[in-house]
A and B are shown apart, each in its own frame.
Chain A
Amino acid sequence: MSQILGLYNYWIVILLMMAGFYNVIARGNLIKKLIGLNIFQTSVFLLYISMGKVEGGTAPIVAEGMATYSNPLPHVLILTAIVVGIATTSVGLSLVIRIREAYDTIEEDEIQQLDEGP
């Protein structure tokens, strides 16, 4: 029981990661792929934040009467990663827009057909 409770967060992280991964490799729609990447990314955030949690700790802001704080380092890494994530997602989305303008579709197989066609 303690094994399950102790590792539950990490197992959920892996489930989410694989859900995002499946969306990226199995779907042909480019926007769906980006959504999958976003889910994958959030699962990595959850992994870091879960590792930073300390039993009985509180948010890492100095407060009266508090002795135990959770680890602030993963929080720093992830909070900047989220903003970098939206910046890279916006680059991906603008690439999708350009692909749509050039090929008139955002389905991977149709783009491939157009490239191979006469």
Chain B
Amino acid sequence: MSNFISDISLQIDLVDIVLLTILVVVAVAVIRVRDLFEAVVLLGIFSLLSACIFTTLDAVDVAFTEAAVGAGISTVLFLATLTLTARKEKAQYSHSWSGFIVCTLTGGALIYGTLDMPHFGDPDAPIHQHVAPRYIVDSPEEIGVPNMVTSVLASYRGYDTLGETTVIFTAGLTVLLLLRRDRRSRDRSASPPTAETTDRRGSHVMRHAMVLRVMSKLFIPLILLFALYVQFHGDFGPGGGFQAGVIFAAAFVLYALIYGVEAAQRVAPPARVQVFVALGLLLYIGTGLASLFAGGNFLEYKVLAHEASHGEHIGILFIELGVGITVAAAIINTFFYFAGRGRA
């Protein structure tokens, strides 16, 4: 037994197996509860657990993102939706047997499909033979950035990341179009809420939560500082534009939750936040165009400076900044629209 435990990789396997089993238990609990509030909180726990698993599987950048997005922002957005809709699910009389049978059959077929898959952690698996060795062996010299995830994300696969940033921009735009109050309905409401009345209502929510007010004031500067660290240290450690954007937005969401949305909107006026959603994407495309005009291909950073690796550094810095700005602005904007929908 001591021999069994002393093997480090087996220990990691054990941690992995235990965490995965807990994950399944939480997933089943999410299905079973009728109270949507409980389901959302369980979903937050589910995300945090999966972030732990990503860490044991060496995916530190992914774990970082999942913890910030899944356990943080996603939970807040779901809860905001619950306050606008309904808290309880309608009681259903029986389980859906046809659904259960479809799931069992699909699951059985998929499990049959895994039987000839390469085993977990197998270094000879096909996935590790194709382009991965190039990224692992050559990227530190070619790009000059220690974090391989950053060099693949921002340099080798810059086109993909541009596409993904565009998806986030489009989603931000769609939320704006869906939840915007048009001018007609605003005119129809008898007395539009003035800044003063809504202000009093907003601050009323957490007026007595002294601990929360004081602690959030202490934490918000640190969260913003940490977001900037994650943004600009992403080349060397885990982090980058996506994570930094989410953490930056989380600071604003926290402020809005505790001091009221109106107070947060005075710090970050929605009209200006919307401009930033587009500005980040334009910065990304602009970097691509700059390398085009400097004589290279679109998003080929090495022409941006006299030395190739220096050019890569400049290119990665700018496009990560663009990603960070778009992500942060899109999430702040989305939260403002969700929170603003219930008032007025």
Contacts and interface: CB of A to CB of B under 8 A. Distances in A.
Partners in one complex: yes
Interface of A: 2-3, 5-12, 14-23, 25-29, 31-32, 34-36, 38-39, 42, 45-46, 49-63, 68-91, 93-98, 100, 105-107, 110
B327 interface: yes
Contact of B147 (A39, A61, A87): A61
Interface in B25-70: 27-28, 30-31, 36, 39-40, 43, 46-47, 50, 53-54, 57-62, 64-66, 69-70
A28 B92 contact: yes
Nearest to A5: B13
B120 A5 contact: yes
B132 A72 contact: yes
Contact of B16 (A9, A31, A32, A56): A9
Interface string B322-344: 00000100110010011001000
A57 B70 CA distance: 26
A82 to B, nearest CB: 5
A97 B61 contact: no
A23 B27 CA distance: 10
Interface stretch (B99-107, B187-195, B196-204): B99-107
Interface in B111-168: 111, 114-115, 117, 119-123, 125, 127-128, 131-132, 135-136, 140, 146-149, 152-153, 157, 160-161, 164, 167-168
Contacts of A23: 30-31
Interface SS of chain A: helix
A97 B179 contact: yes
Given A45-B50, A82-B66, A93-B338, A26 B111 contact: no
**9 closest A-B pairs by CB:** A6-B119, A26-B99, A87-B171, A55-B121, A26-B96, A70-B58, A62-B146, A72-B148, A60-B148
B59 A51 contact: no
A28 B16 CA distance: 34
Contact of A75 (B121, B149, B172): B149
B174 interface: yes
Interface residues of B, number: 105
20 contacts: A6-B119, A7-B120, A12-B24, A15-B27, A17-B107, A19-B31, A21-B106, A25-B96, A25-B99, A29-B36, A52-B59, A53-B121, A72-B132, A74-B127, A78-B62, A82-B66, A82-B70, A83-B246, A86-B77, A100-B85
Given A19-B28, A87-B330, 10 more contacts: A3-B119, A6-B120, A21-B103, A49-B54, A59-B58, A61-B238, A73-B135, A75-B59, A77-B160, A90-B77
A86 B90 contact: no
Nearest to B87: A31
B9 interface: yes
Contact of B62 (A38, A45, A97): A45
Nearest to B39: A35
B332 to A, nearest CB: 12
A88 B171 CA distance: 6
B301 to A, nearest CB: 17
Given A23-B31, A70-B59, A97-B179, A76 B53 contact: no
A88 B172 CA distance: 9
A49 B119 contact: no
B110 interface: yes
Given A45-B66, A94-B175, A80 B161 contact: yes
B318 interface: no
